Structure 1
Amino acid sequence: MDGAPWHHRHRVALDVAVAVAFVLLDTGNTLAGGSWWPGRPDTLAWVLLGVQALACSSLVLRRRAPLTVVVVLGLFTLVVTLLIAPAQALTPASAGNVWAPFATVVAAYGPPFHGTDRRVGYLALALLTFVVARPWEPSATIITLAVLRTAVGPLLALYLDARRRLVLALTERAERAERERHLLAEQARDEERARLAGEMHDVVTHRVSLMVLQAGALRMTASDEATRQAAEDLRSAGCQALDELRDLVGILRRAPREDGTPSTDGLAALVAESTAVGVPVDLTESGDRSLASPVVGRTAYRIVREALTNVRKHAPGARVTVRIRYEETRLRVAVHNTAPTGRPSRALVETGSGLGIVTLRQRIELVHGTMRAGPTPDGGFRLEATLPAYVPTAEPAV
């Protein structure tokens, strides 16, 4: 509230000031002959002047009881009108004036702006206009002045109310936009953290799975018990590390962004790593490697890496064939493994999340590619992906 305008923080004081101002204005206007004041005032005139001051002071209630203010000023105007004619107990100095005080302008402003039932408010204003205009004594000047006095307030009220609603709507929209901006910024930070966690999961899982396989091979070929035990401990620790990594970060990959993931030029090293741990891989590349944009090359690398990791986990003893074909508009990746010759290690299989193919498909769809994966008649498994050769990024193609 401290930042609100002064007239919002001190409404009662403002209403009192308005009421006092119109008491003085209408009293001065009446004494000057601008209303019903007679040429020779008597006791009745002075009493009516006091009653008029009280009626105008009802403007203090113009916010809390706007209909009451309209009724009070309307009744006063009606009483003065009846005393002038037909009672003839009061003879104004000028018969062509409007008998209603100027306070009716502010009173007419109240019902449309502060009232709860606008239909009742408009009915009250219509009756007030009828009393002020004195249609039983037709006068174009008086009727025009009366309509202006009782219409200016409601029109101004409707304008200010529409303006207030517009300001509130714009303020709410701005606040909502600000909240959405903060939410989007927070979402972007969350997605970046998720992307980094996913990348760590991909890289570490690939490397540790190689270590586990190498330790398993060492355990089988070592000549002394101490070396075999050390290799078994290393293999167990690697499996435990993979399991903990899965629990900590899961599969949280998002849209491919600029990162340090190797492109297609890293496929040879990837194949060599798998071959070194007992998973023979035959890599064949055809076409011009430079046709693939950086993000497409990294996606192809991820496809092959995920496929080889799955072979090491689920198809021990299988042979793998990787085919990469670079075309003008497309890049085709095919990874096929034969049927496994041994049983997969349960500890190694359980290190995965089971969502590798699903998340890989999502990554491929992000670059507008397609993927097919499934078992083959020979008991193996085949993964095929078709990627667009070019996906625009902020970095130059190589």
Structure 2
Amino acid sequence: MLDVLLVVVLVVFNVYVAVWSGLPRAERSGCGPWAGLGLQVVAASAMLMRKARPLTALGLVTGMAVVMSLSMWLVPGWFLASADGAGVWVPSAAPVAAYSAVVYSTRPRVAWALTGVLTLLATRLWALSFAVTASGLVLTAVPALLGMYVGARRGLIAALTERAERAEHERFLVAEQARAEERVRLAGEMHDVVTHRIGLMVLQAGALRVQAPDAHVRQEAEALRAAGCQALEELRDLVGVLRSPQSAEGVVEAGTAEGVRKPDLGLAVLVAESRAVGVEVEFEEVGDASVLAPVVARTVYRVVQEALTNARKHAPGGSVRVDVRYEVDRVRLAVRNTPPTKPVDGDLAGSGDRHGLSGLRQRVVLVGGTFAWGPLPEGGFVVESALPLYVPTTRTWIRSGEPAASRPWGSGT
């Protein structure tokens, strides 16, 4: 738009100059000022391509300046405003052409060569005149020097911007590496300390099951041993995820190849437990749960478990709906509860460390999923999550804390 406005201004200026200075002479000589005006209009129109093809525009203006200079000896008065050759012998678009060529051209040597020819024709060094030389420099060399400054400034800004972006990327990589190292350290601590203690508990429960004379004690010892074994398996998967998604996937694939049974989600058991304490729960499960990797299955279980626990604590008397959908590449789940219809038990609601949802979000992100929660517009609360069927080999970090109510169910994450 600015280039079009520039061309209009140049054309109007040249029409004014041609009519004001050339028309009386044209009426006497019969040649008319239209040849020079047409040359100026063509040069002005070339400024439309001063950014896309700056050297072409400058070359066209320089060629017209050569024609105007030659016309002074061959056909005086045809291409110049004054028959005596006073003034500068270059088109009025010369300053714009010189400036644009230096700023936008990728071949600076050619741009400066054409600008030198244009300056030579404008200053007419073979017939020195202070007024002509000064005017020629102002119309050609000065715009070129200004263009050189603007081009150098743009290059400097681009270099500083690239350096800042590179430094920001390097800081991100350093922080990512620090997080990865901290995760590996935590995984090692969990493996060395927690696994050792749980392993001792499993061994002691197994010994008690064998040696206890009472059948009830043996039964409880077996239940304790089974729970410990399950905890060890879950801990192994979690340690693998903490170390790296690739190692976690290797654990899952190895477990499947060895014929280890994938854990039952037990979501129906969770729902039954909530119904047993008086919570109205509507449960819908669509798809095949057996396609889930073990670590993903346990994460789904924990999300539903935490959501039902929070509903019992903070929305007594309200109803809960649990939706679980197993899709082609991921599992989506949502747990919604209505507002409470009974007084909230302060002691029960205040129990816990108040980090359950935050901890779940971290666990979901570790396996490459998304997690969101928040109040519903009509009241109540919703917890939504989407997890891959298998632990991905690359992980996408998401923005946490986004209200789940702002994203409709089934719209994707």
TM-score bracket for this pair, using the shorter chain length: 0.3 to 0.5
Alignment TM-score, normalising by the size of structure 1: 0.48
Please say which structure displays the higher CA radius of gyration. Answer: 1
Alignment TM-score, normalising by the size of structure 2: 0.46
Could you say which structure has the greater relative contact order, defined with CA pairs below 8 angstroms and 6 or more residues apart? 1
